[in-house]
Amino acid sequence: MRRIYLDHSATTPVDPEVAELMMKYYVESYGNPSSVHSFGREVKKALEEARSQVATIIGANSNEIIFTSGGTEADNLAIQGAVRARADKGKHLITSVIEHHAVLDTFKYLAKNGFEVTYLPVDSEGLICVEELKRAIRPDTILISLMHANNEIGSIQPIEEIGKITKEKGIVFHVDGVQSLGKIPIDVQKMNIDLLSLSSHKIYGPKGVGALYIRKGVKIMPLVFGGAQERKMRSGTENVPGVIGFGKACELAAERMAEDNKELTRLRDKLIDGILSNIEDVRLNGPRGDKRLPNNVNVCIRYVEGESLLLSLDMLGIAASSGSACTSGSLDPSHVLLALGLTHEIAHGSLRFTLGRQNTEEEIDFVIQELPKIVNRLREMSPLYHKKLSS
Amino acid sequence: MYSEKVIDHFTNPRNVGEIEHPDGVGQVGNPKCGDIMRITLEIEDNTIKDIKFKTFGCGAAVATSSMVTELVKGKTLEEALTVSNAVVAEALGGLPETKMHCSNLAADAVHAAIKDYLSKKNKV
Ligand code: FES
């Protein structure tokens, strides 16, 4: 059976060029980059090359990049590390209600440990209001943490505008760039970002690798002790093949971004229009146009439930995801969809497609053709739809 | 994560629909995830002659609805009342841990429909 992968915000395949390069660092150049001998030195050189590739794509310097085990660790290191280094300067922190759980749960932990957290709301499209952010700032605010682009609904926050404010106020600005990296430009200078979390496996690199950009001069405390790797900010022997793969993936992403972006945007809009015009009672979640990630489609289909949509799609070989309560281990609907003001019942029918480099127009056409049939079948089964028809 | 039987009942659900002028109706919501199941019954001689379901819920919810209708169709009301969520889950070859609550819905909806029938009957 043919399979169509439309879940690229969960993870991406590793680019063959990346995988090939990584292979070399498993079997041939296996030295420890901290060793003095030639085995170590050659790996150290490759590691530093990767560091510079990651730095380049975000406009940073190599010595501002710390490799981590992924985006989640980078978020934890940034937030906990920055707060610990500044606990004597204040106890107020600002974030938003639609952050990834790696960020939200870290703030929850800090809130239990003496810090005060302001959670900025979002509007119905998933965008925060800059004026509201300004009003939330207090003299004792020590950190503002916001995601660049949302993983569920693709909304892109006005990071550059916010960066001007945090710079002026001298507040450390952390940005979760996991979903935006490689899809839209990030420039830590222009955007005045102090800390930036990145992940490899969302940009055709390997899983288990990420990075934290730490602006020169910004102090943070490490979470992991035990060695002097990564300028003592993250001890432990680096995941060398992973890091090198990540570096290569950044280089490729930078080369392809403009072109990928154009094609993905075209397919994205085709899919959105196809769904909205072929199925009744559907709403698009998140903004349209350039405030939306080029690869994200997220809709709520009324009277049906997300997991049964996913199962039905899966039977046709189509991979997607949902924010329905039934698909989450906690049985709560997506906090992002609720933050948009949607009811539980509407969030129940959420469906997300996230496109990638390898998707074709024909695949998108297939989804547009099959989804209405699936929805019809499930609606026939739905007591809510029945009620709608009889009222 | 789902057994073949669950997938089968999800793909080809039995007894989907709504009986016109039903003798008993049971509609329950799942407090855990917000799903809804509706059962309509046709009852003759204390026996479930026909049963139909409509479900707004996950794959397990659809499959357990479908399975419960098969299990109780043709049964007397007393027999039908003994069909519990555990019986439904077992008939489907088991459900994943996180999906056990979905099977409550199916059994509850049938029981609610029977009770609805009985209370109407007693009023007459
Ligand atoms: S009915 Fe909601 S998880 Fe199964």
Record the tokens describing residue B34, joined without a space: 């917000």
Sheet containing A92-96: give its strands across. A65-68, A210-214, A195-199, A172-176, A141-147, A92-96, A116-120
pLDDT digit string, tens, across residues A146-199:
999 999 999 999 999 999 999 999 999 999 999 999 999 999 999 999 999 999
pLDDT at B31: 66
Q: How confident is the model at residue A330 (pLDDT cuts 50, 70, 90)?
A: confident
Residue A261 phi/psi, 5° resolution?
Answer: -55, -45
Residue located via tokens 């975000």: A58
A89, A91, A94, A97: CA torsion to nearest 10: 160
Superfamily, domain A4-11+256-390: Aspartate Aminotransferase, domain 1 (3.90.1150.10)
- DSSP state string for A284-342: E-S--GGGB-TTEEEEEETTS-HHHHHHHHHHTTEE-B---GGGSTT----HHHHHTT-
- Span A292-302, average pLDDT: 98
The candidate with the shortest Cα–Cα distance to A15, out of A295, A218, A205, A239, is A205
In chain A, ranges of CATH 3.40.640.10 domains: 16-253
- Span A34-54, average pLDDT: 97
In chain A, ranges of CATH 3.90.1150.10 domains: 4-11+256-390
pLDDT at A391: 67
Which comes out higher in pLDDT, residue A327 or A45? A45
Q: What is the DSSP letter of A206?
A: -
Instruction: Sort out which chain A residues have CB atoms less than 8 A from B59's CB and list them.
Output: 307-308, 311
- Nearest CB to A315 within list B11, B37, B38: B11
Q: Does B108 touch chain A (CB under 8 A)?
A: no
Helices B4-11 and B59-72: crossing angle in degrees, nearest 10, is 80
Q: Which helix (H) or strand (E) holds A255?
A: helix A240-278
| B102 counts as catalytic | yes
- Span A325-332, average pLDDT: 81
Record the tokens describing residue A180, joined without a space: 């935006």
* pLDDT surpasses 70 at A291: yes
pLDDT at B57: 92
Q: What is the DSSP letter of A124?
A: T
* pLDDT surpasses 80 at A82: yes
Mean pLDDT in chain A? 96
Query: What stretches in chain B show pLDDT beneath 70?
Result: 31-32, 124
Where b means 16+ CB within 10 Å and e means fewer, A236-263 reads eebbbbbbbbbbbbbbbbbeebeebbeb
Cα angle at A42 between A41 and A45, to 5 degrees? 85
- Distance, CA of A126 to CA of B18 (rounded, Å): 39
Ligand 1 pocket test, pick from B10, B28, B32 with the greatest ligand atom count within 8 Å of Cβ, gives B32
Q: How many CA atoms lie within 13 A of A79 on its CB side?
A: 32
A178, A354, A335, A342: CA torsion to nearest 10: 140
Record the tokens describing residue A188, joined without a space: 């830590």
Q: Which helix (H) or strand (E) holds A176?
A: strand A172-176
pLDDT at A379: 96
- Distance, CA of B121 to CA of B124 (rounded, Å): 5
| A300 counts as catalytic | no
Indicate the pTM of the whole model: 0.95
Q: Where are the alpha helices (DSSP H) in chain B?
A: 4-11, 59-72, 77-81, 85-91, 100-123
Size of interface A-B (CB pairs under 8 A): 65
- Nearest CB to A383 within list B38, B59, B102: B38
A25 touches A45 (CB < 8 A): no
pLDDT digit string, tens, across residues A121-144:
999 999 999 999 999 999 999 999
**Smallest CA separation from ligand 1 atom 3, residue:** A326
pLDDT at B124: 67
Q: Using CB atoms within 10 A of its CB, is residue A366 exposed (0-12), middle (13-18) or buried (19+)?
A: middle
pLDDT digit string, tens, across residues A230-273:
989 999 999 999 999 999 999 999 999 999 999 999 999 999 99
The residue of chain B with its CA nearest to that of A306 is B58
* pLDDT surpasses 90 at A281: yes
Q: Which helix (H) or strand (E) holds A211?
A: strand A210-214
Q: Where are the alpha helices (DSSP H) in A28-171?
A: 38-57, 71-86, 101-112, 130-136, 159-169
Alpha-carbon B10 to chain mean position: 14
Alpha-carbon A263 to chain mean position: 20
CATH for the stretch A16-253: 3.40.640.10
- Distance, CA of A174 to CA of A102 (rounded, Å): 13
- Distance, CA of B119 to CA of B124 (rounded, Å): 9
Q: Does A377 touch chain B (CB under 8 A)?
A: no
pLDDT at B123: 76
Are B16 and A380 in contact (CB < 8 Å)? Answer: yes
Record the tokens describing residue A38, joined without a space: 């030639």
